Structure 1
Amino acid sequence: MWIDGLPSGVLDSSRDEPLHRQLSEVIRQGIAEGALPPGTRLPTEADFQGKFGISRSVVRQAMAALTNDNLIQRGRGRGSVVAPQHEHHRAVQKMSGLSAQFSNSGDSVTTEIISLERAADPRAQKALGTSELLALNRRRSVDGESIAIIHTWLPLSLVPGLEAKDLVDSSLHETLRARFGIPVTAGHRQVRAVSASAELSASLAVPLAAPLLVLEGTSCDDQGNAIEYFCTWHRADRVVFDVEAISDPPGSRLLSTPKQTSLPQNGAADATDLSETARSIATQMNDLAKRMSRLG
């Protein structure tokens, strides 16, 4: 049984963290690592009490927290079992955004606009070549559950008259195409793992320091012009990134990450260099798409 392999000292009453939270984190880890797959019956309250020397109330508080997070299911007379996984898959190499991909899978996707205002950001200014920026903060939910926080910066001159109401439960990329005539055709993406800050913990309803997957990068139009810089924090327990892997033809060289253009000392970006960088990104993405098509 899973509980038999746990050290008895894994719960420590001398720590600041309450025992019920320590216990729930031990079970969360077991679920995340696959030691407790969906459908697994959890140990009984008596099993947990005997193993760790804790009270029944501690066990019940831990189980209540896991139930509220939809990680376990409890029923009278059948104990607690690990709930089915609700994973949402996102293809990182596709230009279509989270909203379009999840909607295509049949899930109910909603978008809440947290804020839309003029705001500066050094990374966005460097990527987009202007300090005149519109900052858009959104929360995406699937079937009523928050799964992603999206921060996006756009050149103010590209989206005159854009209002928050225009983007509620809508795709930004589709809005750019349909309303402003700006197609999103290429881009550069990076993925990294971070822990949830207090703000992200509250926004995504996850524990403080819970694992998150961050997708960040720049998107370009069909002329290679950078039109968007974004950072999206995804719940790692709900979202899976899918990547199509292909073999390189003999003698080919790996594509390198495009060189980032630095801002001049006066703070104004060199528009020519930024344009060349964006065109390089678009060309590389198009070349990769052609190679994948031939191999398919």
Structure 2
Amino acid sequence: MTTKRRKTPVWLAIAGQIRGDIAEGRYRPGDRMPTEAALSARFGVNRHTVRHALAHLTEEGLVRTRRGAGTFVADTPTDYPIGGRVRFHKNLLAAGRSPEKRILQIETRAAAAGEARALGLEAGEPVCSYHGLSFADGQPIALFESIFPETRLPGIAQALQHTRGVTQALDLLGVTDYVRISTRLTAVLADATQAMHLHLREGDPLLRSTGINVTDDGQPVEFGRTVFAGDRVTLILGDGAEDS
């Protein structure tokens, strides 16, 4: 009796060929993959079959989809130290990545109770809230909010608008050095807004960091909350800190 050989599904064979292309360096980490239409033409199949193959590779972690941008070969996660004095730009440059910040909003508002406690203020005192996105090699890796005491740092909002980050802004205001005195790390799932900004799916894993920075005389100057894309960053506990 002859036993029939089970045929490999076409979508699985396509996934295997794309996996081979990546392994052989035809597509490198961060490269944009050909469109579904281009892959359909290459393999002589419909888009649904290609989509099935790409979904399989996404589950394996070999490729990532970015909403409205396409499918990309997964990057190697960026090493990101958390500790005392290493800042955002230094962290990424040391990892061989190109750093970039994008301002989403800078506003003056009343401090919430938890923010006031962290900054040594009375609830309701004015603070500067700085929302932004951090990028490595053009890919969003973190969404942050930094809170500053307005009365202690007059002009901080304007300084943030005209500099590339917190360190330079504080330096303009006479704060030449500051250190991280506490960091709290928590695993969370992306909500719809976070997913949109970080080009993830709602429910994807994030790492949330909450920390307080102080001057050398112990005065709090920043209370920061950052969520990192869980598959794009490796947080390293040591002599470093994220400067938003």
Whether these two folds match at TM > 0.5 is: yes
What is the TM-score when the length of structure 2 is the normalising length?
0.66
Matched, 1:232 2:226: yes
Counterparts of 1:143 and 1:71, CA distance in 2: 18
**Cα pair distance change 1:180/1:72, threshold 3 Å:** same
Contact kept, 8 Å, 2:84 with 2:181, in 1: the verdict is: no
The code of the aligned residue for 2:88 comes to L
Alignment of 1:111-150 (within 5 A): 111-119=101-109, 120-130=111-121, 131-150=125-144
**Cα pair distance change 1:222/1:207, threshold 3 Å:** same
Counterparts of 2:62 and 2:89, CA distance in 1: 24
Q: How far does residue 62 in structure 1 lie from its aligned partner after superposition?
A: 4.2
Matched, 1:102 2:96: no
* Residues 89-126 of structure 1: per-residue CA shift (max 9 Å, x gap): 11112332323211233321111110110123322111
Counterparts of 1:98 and 1:62, CA distance in 2: 38
Q: Corresponding residue for 2:150? A: 156
Alignment of 1:1-296 (within 5 A): 39=23, 57-64=47-54, 71-72=62-63, 83=73, 85-119=75-109, 120-130=111-121, 131-163=125-157, 166-167=160-161, 170-244=164-238
Higher strand share: 2
Contact kept, 8 Å, 1:113 with 1:164, in 2: the verdict is: no
Counterparts of 1:169 and 1:61, CA distance in 2: 43
Greater RCO, CA 8 A, separation 6+: 2
Q: How far does residue 187 in structure 1 lie from its aligned partner after superposition?
A: 1.5
The code of the aligned residue for 1:122 comes to A
Q: 3-state DSSP class of the match of 2:144?
A: strand
Counterparts of 1:167 and 1:88, CA distance in 2: 27
* Residues 242-294 of structure 1: per-residue CA shift (max 9 Å, x gap): 1249xxxxxxxxxxxxxxxxxxxxxxxxxxxxxxxxxxxxxxxxxxxxxxxxx
Q: Which runs of 5+ in 2 are unaligned?
A: 1-11, 16-21, 25-44, 65-71, 240-244
Contact kept, 8 Å, 1:148 with 1:233, in 2: the verdict is: yes
What is the TM-score when the length of structure 1 is the normalising length?
0.55
Higher helix share: 1
**Cα pair distance change 1:129/1:176, threshold 3 Å:** same
Q: Corresponding residue for 1:46? A: none
Counterparts of 1:72 and 1:169, CA distance in 2: 35
Number of residues paired by the alignment?
186
Counterparts of 2:232 and 2:214, CA distance in 1: 28
Task: Indicate the RMSD between aligned Cα atoms, in angstroms.
Answer: 3.1
Contact kept, 8 Å, 1:135 with 1:154, in 2: the verdict is: yes
The code of the aligned residue for 2:112 comes to D
Q: 3-state DSSP class of the match of 1:180?
A: coil
Q: Corresponding residue for 2:32? A: none
